[in-house]
Structure 1
Amino acid sequence: MNVPLWVWLATCAFVVGMLVFDFVGHVRKPHEPTLRESAIWSAGYVAVALLFGVGVGVFSGWQYGGEYMAGWMTEKALSVDNLFVFLLIMTAFAVPKIHQQKVLLIGIAIAIVMRGAFIAVGAVIIEQWSAVFYLFAIVLFWLAYSQIKEAMSSEEADPGDAGDTKLIRAVRKVLPTSSHYDGDKMVTRVDGKRMLTPMALVIVAIGFTDLLFAFDSIPAIFGLTQEPFLVFTANAFALLGLRQLYFLIGGLLEKLIYLAHGLSVILAFIGVKLTLHALHENNLPFINGGQPVPVPEVPIWLSLLVITGTIAVAAIASLMVTRRRAEAAAAAGDTPPAEGDGTAATEDDGDLAQTPSSNRATEK
């Protein structure tokens, strides 16, 4: 896939423009987004991502278009799982709801920059050393195992841990930090001394978490396409709109109990796909004498089918089981929380769940 420099520059400018528009149009004035606002803008960002995929297919061929779509859907699913940890961080630091949008948008910008750097390094490594696909496959198998292990565990994460990482404790020791927020400022004055606010620490925590998430997403996306342009755009468009998605499905996060199971299946599938590709491109002397191994490769249509099917099954099964549990609790005489009560953003208060259980929080 030959991508001219001007297309790269135009795409990067478009992504930056979307972030600036998001900040100026929505985040600059602190407020709690309503369910309607979040739904409209989430749908808009999804539409932009899908239209971009259609454009790739029309101008570069549907093989590349399919690779982009598979990559975007995988990254979107991983980003939804990441929202669990973002919510825990917000809860641990008691971030005022009217300022959560700013934290998320800055976190998204940091994630795009860091993933861009990871993608650039990964593309160079792949070009120079194709055996890295074996390493990526091992990483994905380990991540799939970690996902399913956490999903099968009955232990729940302590939300307080999210704001008490070694990194945050180190920052507190080195830099003076106030104990109270000062609006959405990251620096304030206390008794005449300049100090960081908890808002700054939240952003550090989000940025560090984004760095950890890159170790999930980059090997996964390179397992679906080796085109740097498609890897970058799939990541960027999956992250854009994540802020709105956070407020839109906040109440659903704790109901997606099988999301980690589904992601485990997807990561393992991509690991198999990467292993087959690595064998097909093999140059390691201790495997088949350094010659390529004649194994079949997974076509992109099958990747799309497995990814979409797995996400759909995980989501439907999660909602069915959580509804049955709620009905069983009601029949037993317990009073379950009202649908969306205290967990989902509403037209009036945009409230979010404060104590969700995350399958990945302990890992991150």
Structure 2
Amino acid sequence: MTSISRKILPIITSLMLGITLTGATTMTMAQNTNPNLPVSMITQWDKTFAQSNQVEHRKVSFQNRYGITLVGDLYLPKNRGTHPLSAIAISGPFGAVKEQSSGLYAQTLAEKGFITLAFDPSYTGESGGQPRNVASPDINTEDFSAAVDFLGLQQEVDRNRIGILGICGLGGMALNAVAADTRIKAVATSVMYDMSRAMGYGVGDGKDRYSTKDRKAVQQYLNEQRWKDVESGTIHRSNHDIYVDQNGHVTAADRGLPEVLPENPHPVLKEFFEYYRMPRGFHQRSINSTGAWNTTMPLSFMNMPLLSYANEITIPTLIVTGEKAHSRYFAEDAFKAVGSKNKELLIVLNANHVDLYDNKARVIPFDKFTQFFKTNLK
């Protein structure tokens, strides 16, 4: 194995708190101990991007099939007329919240004429679910379908013209959702991750990192942690990207991102740090900004491949990634696997992974996303 300094450092995490970056907030719902109800519903604008005067914003909630209440931001064009519009459900990146990248995508596409919904996945942000800081290939896939349920019940939405867009790790969930949910008419991803592959085989410089022996060592490490958790009655949290040395010794950092960048940081660590830990993208409820996932979280991803039925995807598919994105190989392989005859892979020149989170003035191809959804949500 190569040294940690040469390995891609992970997408990371944080303890969910019902407060804003700037302090006092107005809540329509306080912290709730019911495991399936929202953690909070903050009505004050607390996004990492400026509010648009072209778009109406509503705070909303809805349930998935597992009874977990999800919280989202609904964006509607102010000059939308009286006819139902096409709609897009948006989520991601993995470990982020709707006040970050997905909200920016949603608000910008609403400016282009769509009704959009940016939502927090189960167990994260303002959405319900206990314990906190958990992800699931099944439940988070279902979250997209639950968002479609919600959109399809809105009088402003034409339920026959609904698409979805997944960013980073939620891109893989989006593709997984459309393999099963025939109500979704078009799907797009931005700098997608296949989280089953990422957790099961490790994220490397353009290729998988774990050998079969490494994979078993990681499973052993995670299952030993299960014993510790159940014996102590507590939940241990750590970085979900786990390292295996030449002797089979497994380690994981106690948090996703450090408080301070080390000297000569890996370029990918620097990318994530400059977004999640700096004012540019920091949000108190974002796992990636302030904390870590539950240590045992990768187990279900390692055992349940997300894109098993990608060849059965037949709807229009747009996969966008960056030329310099460390995740590019996930997007290229997913594109090959998707069965649709109407599919496109767009590689944004000179863009790294995190550039496509928020750098809309320079790299996010919003005109391309707009064209794709307008063409395919007729």
Q: Considering the TM-score relative to the shorter chain, is it more than 0.5? A: no
Q: TM-score, normalised by structure 1?
A: 0.27
Determine which structure has the larger strand proportion and give its number.
Answer: 2
Instruction: Report the structure number with the largest CA radius of gyration.
Output: 1
Determine which structure has the larger helix proportion and give its number.
Answer: 1
Q: TM-score, normalised by structure 2?
A: 0.26
